[in-house]
Amino acid sequence: MKLVHYLWYMIVIVDYKMGNLGSITNIIKKIGYTSIITSDIDVIQNASKIILPGVGSFDKAMFNMKELNLLDVLNQKALVDRIPILGICLGMQLLTNSSEEGHQKGLGWIDAETIKFKLDDYPTLKVPHMGWNEVTFPQPHFLCEDYHETPRFYFVHSYHVVCKHKENILMETTHGYEFTCGIVKENIMGVQFHPEKSHKFGMNLFKNFIEKC
């Protein structure tokens, strides 16, 4: 029972009232682990791994996190305790300084900006970018290991991240032009796609995040 109790608190999915969080906890359960969805500060303080998901607008997400008094505990866990943190979709964008989608400051943990797709030169392509894309890994990292075929992930987004430093670029793909779809800085990681909707490739990514950090 003690082991189960420990695992239950180890992986925390932060609930700031944006997005379908159940699909993330379900895929984590499928690979053999247990997680908790919460906005409880005391529980987040006890986390040894944090997942920051999200679907929706950048400003609303930052507003909700402030209203729920989550910023201090998240900054503590990311920057002081330095536990592994994974941002997904909007959650990845929140790791950056700001977004063209709104006016709120982001978490600023990774020196990057979030911008809207600019597809004037690609009139046949649509925004939002939706569907499956192959992803490449420009640098070695444990999140990028153990894919036995070219990884493909499911995307739904209108904005993407531009890193100011090459070493923060973890994954890339193409929608008209090449863009960054995975970022990293030490213990902080983010992916633009939805691994929870990406079948075996997403399961492998979560497995890497849980077991190799």
Domains and CATH numbers, the chain: 2-212 (3.40.50.880)
Is the C-alpha dihedral spanning 57, 209, 83, 97 positive or negative? negative
State the pLDDT at residue 188.
98
Segment 202-213 shows an average pLDDT of 95
Confidence of residue 9 (pLDDT cuts 50, 70, 90): very low
> Pairing state of beta strands 98-99 and 152-157?
unpaired
Confidence of residue 81 (pLDDT cuts 50, 70, 90): very high
State the pLDDT at residue 4.
41
Distance CA 7, CA 134 (A): 32
Cα first-last separation, the chain? 24
175-196 pLDDT tens trace: 999 999 999 999 999 999 999 9
Is residue 160 a contact partner of residue 179, using CB atoms and an 8 Å limit? Answer: yes
> Pairing state of beta strands 49-52 and 11-14?
parallel
132-168 pLDDT tens trace: 999 999 999 999 999 999 999 999 999 999 999 999 9
* SS (HEC) of 115-176: EECCCCCCCCCCCCEEEEEECECCCCCHHHCCCCCCCEEEEEECEEEEECCHHHEEEEEEEC
Is residue 201 a contact partner of residue 147, using CB atoms and an 8 Å limit? Answer: yes
Structure tokens at 100: 């063209």
Q: List the catalytic residues.
A: 89, 194, 196
State the pLDDT at residue 140.
96
% of the chain at pLDDT higher than 70: 96
104-130 pLDDT tens trace: 999 999 999 999 999 999 999 999 999
Q: What is the dihedral of CA 181, 185, 186, 189, to 10 degrees?
A: -30
79-83's contacts with Cβ under 8 Å and 24+ in sequence apart are 79/109, 82/186, 82/187, 83/47, 83/48, 83/49, 83/50, 83/187
% of the chain at pLDDT higher than 90: 93
State the pLDDT at residue 67.
97
Distance CA 181, CA 134 (A): 11
Within 10 A of 41 (CB to CB), how many other CB atoms are there? 13
Q: What is the mean pLDDT of the chain?
A: 94
